[in-house]
Amino acid sequence: MQFAGPLALRSGASISDYTLAYETYGTLNAERSNAVLVCHALNASHHVAGVYQGQARSEGWWDNMVGPGKPLDTDRFFVIGVNNLGSCFGSTGPMHVNPATGRVYGADFPVVTVEDWVDAQAALLDALGIETLAAVMGGSLGGMQALSWTLQYPDRVRHAVVVASAPNLTAENIAFNEVARRAIVTDPDFHGGHFYEHGVVPKRGLRIARMIGHITYLSDDVMNAKFGRILRSAVEGEVAGADYRYSTQDVEFQIESYLRYQGDKFSEYFDANTYLLITRALDYFDPARSHGGKLSAALAQARAKFLLVSFKTDWRFSPARSREIVKALLDNSRNVSYAEIDAPHGHDAFLLDDVRYMGVVRSYFERVAREFQQ
């Protein structure tokens, strides 16, 4: 959908003539009371659920969660997925032409924040004629958007489902983001963010960024269970048998092979400027900041009811961070449900099937549905 704007951004800049790519699933009811907005994290898009006809492996990124009869049941809810500004899956981003200059934005794309994305999402809901959301839902960075919705538009959201998220990034989180950004920015093919006009892509940097990301999405345990110290030659059944090659650059361990593959794949489709923008939005998010660092004071604005979910082996957004949000909400006597799931998969667990996790979300949405069906 096309927007004239201008949309005022937290940086002081604004953006005009922008597009938001979105998809919807299910049917908006007559009362317009069954809409659920699903917010995406770093490398996902508006394609939350379902498949594109004739396209193999085109399942939406949360297809196990969203669909007919699924925990977020599109037979009952009208679900909206939207690609955020600055991303690279259809909404206006750094690879598009800035209508004000006629040049590709590149590194000049304005820095966007979680709050800006929420404002853009609200404008989309206005255009769709939806005043109030039954729920807003997201995992990781998507959970930050869901939380921010309850603070920026407290009267427009009845429930917030915040999964594997945090009230802000720790120093370690910022540190990992910074290494990934440095890898991209110092790639000679980055050209200060204007690589498009040079006909190149900083793939080396993107690969490193993705490899770092992947390590932090998985738990140590699940990595050991999945890859351990298994050699690639053992997996490929080489006649010579599984022995060290005594090389510094060959792929020897399975985990190396997996990471290189993930890095290569990512560098083929993800935009380098988008990576910088989205990791910076993560760094900046900190609703307590304008309240003297007091999260309880910040969350006093929320009116929604909450479900928070965290995963015990998630060391990127640990359960302790979700509990900070729970505590701050309880300090304000808000209605909060909280589930800490003992899944082994680390941060990635929020995207994976786990019968307890899926059960908790399903039950919660059954409760949400009862509210508007009364």
Catalytic residue from among 46, 47, 159, 347: 347
Q: What angle do CA 80, 86, 91 make, to 5 degrees?
A: 45
Pick the closest to residue 276 from 344, 189, 193 (CA basis): 193
Contact by Cβ (8 Å): 115, 152:
yes
Is the alpha carbon torsion for 151, 152, 156, 160 positive or negative?
negative
Rounded to whole angstroms, the Cα distance separating 153 from 31 reads: 20
DSSP assigned state of 25: E
Q: Based on CB atoms, which residue is closest to its own copies, 249 or 374?
A: 249
CA gyration radius for the chain?
21
Number of Cβ atoms within 10 Å of the Cβ of 264: 14
What is the nearest approach in angstroms of its own copies to the Cβ of residue 177?
9
What is the nearest approach in angstroms of its own copies to the Cβ of residue 10?
7
3-state secondary structure of 190: helix
Say whether 286 is catalytic.
no
Q: Based on CB atoms, which residue is closest to its own copies, 171 or 239?
A: 171
The total number of residues written for the chain in this structure:
374
The residues that touch its own copies, with contacts defined as CB under 8 A, are 10-13, 107, 110-111, 113, 168-172, 174-176, 178-179, 181-183, 185-188, 193, 204, 207-208, 211-212, 214-215, 218, 220, 223-224, 226-229, 244, 246-249, 252-253, 255-256, 259-260, 263, 273, 276-277, 280, 283-284, 286, 315
Residues 6+ apart with CB under 8 A from 294: 288
Q: Based on CB atoms, which residue is closest to its own copies, 45 or 273?
A: 273
* Amino acid (one-letter) located at 58: S
Q: Based on CB atoms, which residue is closest to its own copies, 85 or 136?
A: 85
Residues 6+ apart with CB under 8 A from 218: 226, 345, 346, 347, 348
Contact by Cβ (8 Å): 330, 336:
yes
Catalytic residue from among 87, 91, 140, 148: 140
Rounded to whole angstroms, the Cα distance separating 104 from 304 reads: 40
Q: Based on CB atoms, which residue is closest to its own copies, 262 or 363?
A: 262
Rounded to whole angstroms, the Cα distance separating 137 from 36 reads: 7
Q: Based on CB atoms, which residue is closest to its own copies, 146 or 169?
A: 169
What is the nearest approach in angstroms of its own copies to the Cβ of residue 23?
28
Catalytic residue from among 314, 322, 345, 348: 314
DSSP assigned state of 226: H
Rounded to whole angstroms, the Cα distance separating 22 from 28 reads: 15
What is the nearest approach in angstroms of its own copies to the Cβ of residue 236?
18
Residues 6+ apart with CB under 8 A from 129: 32
Q: Based on CB atoms, which residue is closest to its own copies, 40 or 316?
A: 316
So which residues are the catalytic ones? 140, 314, 347
